[in-house]
Amino acid sequence: MLVVFLPENVAGKINTLIPEFEAKLRIRPGYRFRSIAGFQHAAQEVCDIAINRERFSSVLLIDGYLEKDSISGLLHEMKPDALEHTPFFIYAPDKGRYCEGNGNLHMTLRDMDNKHEYRVAEGSGGLVWMIGGFDWMIGGFEEMLKFVADNFHK
């Protein structure tokens, strides 16, 4: 598995970067061999990319700063088969600022019969992790990596 971290200002160019990565790094082409993750503020853009621009074998949203209503609108405006082969893994703290938005995404995906996993861990998330640690997030890494691996090896 190859993990590439992109700065915020580059994420919008993902559709041109993916073929470049595949060619230069000799990665097998195709959505089945791609996964994308969004942490906190990047989660909203990752949702937009996965729903409207590129296909992925899995999408991870970790402590996503998802506004309650923006994700619903994004999902309801997408093409009907946009997420047919793109399962989401949503991992959020129970006392986080955006727990409502993460829960709303889970309920919308459930209502649309899209494959996804939704985990809520005890913790605060947000900027509190710098002060109080981010044990809540580390506890979920094994499950997140297994989710990505399982979707790669279908």
The average pLDDT across 72-82 equals 76
List the domain boundaries for the chain.
8-152
Measured CA to CA, the distance from residue 2 to residue 78 in angstroms comes to 29
- Which position has the higher pLDDT, 147 or 13? 147
- Stated pTM of the model: 0.84
- Which position has the higher pLDDT, 20 or 68? 20
- Which position has the higher pLDDT, 134 or 92? 92
Question: Which residues, at least 6 apart from 122, have a Cβ–Cβ distance to it below 8 Å?
Answer: 93, 94, 95, 136
Inter-residue contact 82 to 51 (CB < 8 Å): yes
CATH (residue range 8-152):
3.40.50.1820
Give yes or no for residue 87 having a pLDDT over 60: yes
The average pLDDT across 78-95 equals 84
Task: Tell me if residue 124 falls in helix, strand or coil.
Answer: coil
The average pLDDT across 36-52 equals 86
Question: Which residues, at least 6 apart from 118, have a Cβ–Cβ distance to it below 8 Å?
Answer: 90, 102, 103, 106
Quick one: three-class SS letters along 24-89? Answer: HCCCCCCHHHCEEEEECCHHHHHHHHHHHHCCCCEEEEECCCCCHHHHHHHHHCCCCCCCCCCCEE
What are 116-152's pLDDT values in tens digits? Answer: 999 998 876 665 445 555 666 777 888 988 998 898 8
What is the reported pLDDT for 90? 94
Give CA separation, 19 vs 24, 28, 77, 85, 99, in Å: 9, 10, 27, 19, 34
Q: Please state, for a pLDDT cut of 70, what percent of the chain lies above it.
A: 86
CB atoms within 10 A of CB 99: 17
